[in-house]
Amino acid sequence: MAKKVVVTGCHGQLGRAIKQILAEHYQLINTDVAELDITDVSAVLALVRETKPYGIINCAAYTAVDKCEEDMENAYRINAIGTRNLAMAAREAKAKLVHISTDYVFDGRGNMPYTEFDPTGPIGVYGASKLAGENFVKEFADQYFIVRTAWLYGEGANFVRTMLRLSKEKKVVQVVADQIGTPTSAVELARAIAWLLPTDEYGLYHGTCAGECSWADLAEATYRLMGLKMEVERISTAEYKTAAKRPAYSVLRNYMLELIGGYRFAYWHDALKEHLKNT
Ligand SMILES: NC(=O)c1ccc[n+]([C@@H]2O[C@H](COP(=O)([O-])OP(=O)(O)OC[C@H]3O[C@@H](n4cnc5c(N)ncnc54)[C@H](OP(=O)(O)O)[C@@H]3O)[C@@H](O)[C@H]2O)c1
């Protein structure tokens, strides 16, 4: 009988990739807000008590970075309190908890990839609420993997999909060229989670694809790989007004995975190619 794993936020980008990669190895109990609202502590404890899972993978989050600025309460309710609830339930059930966090816990003022041992300093509500979630996991769970990822794309709303949509509407797009990070495919992240989950290598991880680029580079790569003739006009952050500030340089080094000899992520461009082939 396959081990049970509760997945929250199963309709999101990572939730869908988890289903694709882990369904043949585990009995997944897939939930999204309709089945399990992670902010409801009684519901979370009840489901975990009833199912007694081997693991819980938290793919649920409030991910709209700009909306978080004006809706701080829901950002903290979902990203911090919801995460605390899962951490408490995991500890009680002696289940392993996989929780996903973000490169936006850093301020992005450096020019060297961040390791898990570097100090955090979020510059927006989203990053701050995700950091609060990380801290609750450390406080309330025992057997946990916190995996910080970045610039995620998969099945769902994301930058790559937006660029493809825009190519149907116009010939030129303006894209920010002075924010540097690492696009990471949800499928690659799910593979790393599949690698970590059966191990006892608990702790905080960075989990992004290899390499780095700007949003403008990512747009150009997307169009090139799809054979689309689009002009990408490179603009600065100052020229593209958003409600939330974003880190300028938020490249993560998967240092903990290197130290334990763990999953090696694909180079971002190769992962993008694989994703677009299946789009
Ligand atoms: N997307 C990125 O670029 C990025 C970058 C770095 C880190 N991450 C982190 O990676 C993880 C996965 O991100 P993603 O892009 O897969 O997110 P996503 O596509 O936005 O999916 C999140 C899912 O959680 C659901 N959800 C929201 N509130 C909930 C609640 N109270 N209870 C249960 N489910 C709830 C959402 O439902 P609704 O759609 O109905 O709200 C959605 O189905 C998150 O922890 C995120 O913070 C993402």
Residue-level pLDDT at 206: 98
Domain ranges within the chain, ordered by starting residue: 4-158+183-209+251-266
Would you call 109 helix, strand, or coil by DSSP? coil
DSSP state of 252: B
pLDDT in tens, 171-184: 999 999 999 999 99
Q: Which helix (H) or strand (E) holds 184?
A: strand 184-185
Mutational pocket test of ligand 1: of 6, 47, 59, the residue with most ligand atoms within 8 Å of the beta carbon: 59
pLDDT in tens, 81-126: 999 999 999 999 999 999 999 999 999 999 999 999 999 999 999 9
User: Which pair of tokens denotes residue 87?
Assistant: 């951490």
Looking at the chain, the whole-number percentage of residues with pLDDT higher than 70 is: 100
Task: Please tell me if the CB atom of residue 77 comes closer than 6 angstroms to any atom of ligand 1.
Answer: no
pLDDT band at 7 (very low <50, low <70, confident <90, very high): very high
For residues 180 and 199, what is the distance between their CA atoms, to the nearest angstrom?
A: 32
Structural fold of domain 4-158+183-209+251-266: Rossmann fold (3.40.50)
Name the residues annotated as catalytic: 126
Residue 232 bridge partners (DSSP): 173
Bridging pattern class, strands 96-102 and 184-185:
unpaired
**Is pTM, for the whole model, over 0.75?**
yes
Q: 238: buried, middle or exposed (CB in 10 Å: 19+, 13-18, 0-12)?
A: exposed
For residues 82 and 93, what is the distance between their CA atoms, to the nearest angstrom?
A: 17
Mutational pocket test of ligand 1: of 20, 21, 32, 137, the residue with most ligand atoms within 8 Å of the beta carbon: 32
For residues 88 and 136, what is the distance between their CA atoms, to the nearest angstrom?
A: 9
Residue-level pLDDT at 278: 87
| Angle 213-270-276 from CA coordinates, rounded to 5° | 100
pLDDT in tens, 49-73: 999 999 999 999 999 999 999 999 9
